[in-house]
Amino acid sequence: MNIAELTARLHAIRDRNDWRQFHAPKNLAMAASVEMAELVEIFQWLSEDQSRTLPADKLEHAGQEIGDVVLYLLLLCSELGLDMDQVVRAKLADSERRFA
């Protein structure tokens, strides 16, 4: 995944539609949360086994929602001046230290 390329493509969509005015960090965080809730809804009421073996349509839907969450987080990082690759790597290194 080339984060810089994905972010540039997102910015192009945002700018073409004049959406930057709506992309305050608080709005992007809330939008990511809403998309995460839509992902959670797919798994609501499923057993653990059912959640591991989604039918094709639900699996595709889950992928769409995961994509939405990731794209909003990329936009949020951009608005905050954070490097997504750097923050993810730093968090992973922290987890490796804490839980190794």
Would you state the pLDDT for residue 100?
A: 87
The series of mean pLDDT values per 10 residues for the chain, 100 residues long, is: 95 98 98 98 98 98 98 98 97 97
Number of domains comprising the chain: 1
Three-state helix/strand/coil letters over 35-53 = HHHHHHHHHCCCCHHHHHC
Q: Which domain holds residue 87?
A: 3-99
Evaluate the CA torsion angle 92, 64, 37, 51 in order and state its sign: negative
Would you state the pLDDT for residue 8?
A: 97
CATH number, residue 11: 1.10.287.1080
